[in-house]
Amino acid sequence: MNQTLLEPQVQSQPQTAETIVAPDVPERPPAPVHPRFVKPQRVAFVQSSWHRDVVEECRIAFLAEIEARHITRAQLDLFEVPGSFEIPLHAQLLAKTRRYTAIVAAGLVVDGGIYRHEFVADTVIKALMDVQLRTEVPVFSAVLTPQQFHDSAVHHEFFRKHFVIKGIEVAEACANTLHSLERLRGQVAAGIVG
């Protein structure tokens, strides 16, 4: 016995606005909601002018991300120094004013041979840590020391993009640390920690 399988007939209906179904589009995740600060914050951003076209990407990304975290452009002061080696002294003088709740440093240390630029980078990072510990004003570093940097369009473009990422990361670290310090200082004042 031969049996033929027949597909069921589907009658087509004219499509109207009510019958058209949009394809499934994944929903965009909601924008993150960042906590607000209890007290006003003021941040200094100290940037080296050496390879400005690369380092400024950090500042631009930092400004956008920190504003999303409730620190407005009016609460930020920007400073530019010749190179990364000059950043720690500026950070220390700014911290001593007690005007700033945080200081962010951005720079690119290259050239001069592997030992010289690693020495400069290590010196800058250590000095920034010393400023932070002496003044109790948090200091954040986006001072980068690439192993390989050639003054070429490809390397400039790569590090410009890399500094965008670093700008976002340093803004996140800055805001999170300021929130943490705000909570801790409140606990100390309340006698909870002490």
Task: Tell me whether residue 102 is in a domain.
Answer: yes
pLDDT at 140 > cutoff 90:
yes
Predicted confidence at residue 5, as pLDDT, reads 47
Confidence band for 160, pLDDT divided at 50, 70 and 90? confident
Instruction: Report, as residue numbers or ranges, the catalytic residues.
Output: 116
134 half-sphere exposure, CB direction, 13 A CA radius: 14
Q: Which amino acid is at 186?
A: G
Within a domain: 156:
yes
CB 110 within 8 A of CB 152: no
Distance CA 192, CA 194 (A): 6
Residue 24 falls within a domain, yes or no?
Answer: no
Tell me if 7 is assigned to some domain. Answer: no
Instruction: Give the C-alpha separation, 9 to 26, whole Å.
Output: 32
CA distance 37 to 15: 53
Give the domain CATH number at 58.
3.40.50.960
Q: How many domains does the chain have?
A: 1
**What pLDDT, in 10s, does the model give residues 110-124?**
765 554 556 777 888
Q: Could you give the residue ranges of the DSSP H alpha helices within 99-152?
A: 113-135
Distance, CA of 194 to chain centre:
32
Is residue 169 situated within a structural domain? yes
User: What is the percent of the chain with per-residue pLDDT over 90, rounded to a whole number?
Assistant: 48
Rounded CA-CA distance 104/121 in Å is 15
- The pLDDT assigned to 108 comes to 87
Predicted TM-score (pTM) of this structure:
0.77
